[in-house]
Structure 1
């Protein structure tokens, strides 16, 4: 959680009753992303369905609880955020499930929240950092050292008169060119360091089905795509950031099929 005293609600809307608050740094389990097509004024369109935080309680009607052994009687029983049918449903209990009573209010029983209970929080308060991709080390390759050419010995002229020319072909060994050594291979170039950049934009799905990634960031003012968003982390769900303005840091590169650069995410932050 990126904010302090963040409300969690019984519904993905400001009309959902507040069932608790979260502090900055609290960790939550995201179950599903909720997108409101027609949010109310000043109401966020992006919400996250999260697991009910530990220590929270819910309510069930006492009629459906066995008074002897505190087990659920019907096949499925709704659990609610308050003592009344006007409160939001935030989970279900199966027949035979044992409940732990906390208190009673008229015909309603307050119980510890089951493991499958859930709540909702505005997605802009969620912060999820991707794992930084492993950058291969840059190897320094020493340039090849050329071997000195073989020394050719100079033979002094002899006083002996050379024999007259002949029509015979000289043997291959007679006129062999001395080995001057093999030319050294060109020195290998060191790879360029990765280009790490930081950009700000709004997350949206890519338009083309052939795009290299399913999500991108774009600038609503210029209507231009800034980067395709790529992650190597299996824990980073980019759909949670749809419609949100973010600051993303990562390694930028180009896909040969596209003019827009691709960024491999190392850090992502929602701009409030």
Structure 2
């Protein structure tokens, strides 16, 4: 009850303040100069406080909400997912001179064969209006003396529950590059002793930065599917900065012909 009364009094006070400043603005052309000078000083102090509030509010309200599951996936998808590294804050945000096999969270692992690691991998907060993911990953590569560099993303059990050869698996990624390079996506699906590997190049030069894997072209044993993971493979990554603003997965059944 006290909270409701306080809220009502705040609204009355706010309306009164707006009315006073509106009247002062209308009377300013004919106001006494001494009074106008006092009003100008008060208005400037008030404006500083309002500008500070607006700056913080605009920044915070523009951020994607932590834990957001908003995903731009095909409407007929029967499963969608965003890994935790893009969904919420990780206990360890990353590091420098990252060795092969280092995990960022429970789902993302960095692999390379560099003799001396000059790689950094770090989670960052997305702040742009266009971002759906609350977080992104930034990878800085300096000298690179290895032959491969990849990020492996372990897919959850829901990704393979009910998975069939009639499914299309789609990967959407929002990538920023300091310099051009090639990125390949390799979907790995383990069924029994065998692992099916499907590879697609991520079309970085087009507006649609997604790849689709048609499982009809695989030799998948639908009855023995154990797990799946995705490898993002970076070709020629030296002296480059790669920012993965978002990474999402979805799957849907192929339309019957």
| TM-score over 0.5 (shorter chain) | no
Could you say which structure has the higher helix fraction?
2
Work out which of the two has the higher radius of gyration on C-alpha atoms and give 1 or 2: 1
The two structures have a TM-score, normalised by structure 1, of 0.20
Tell which has more relative contact order, 1 or 2 (C-alpha 8 A, sep 6+).
Answer: 2
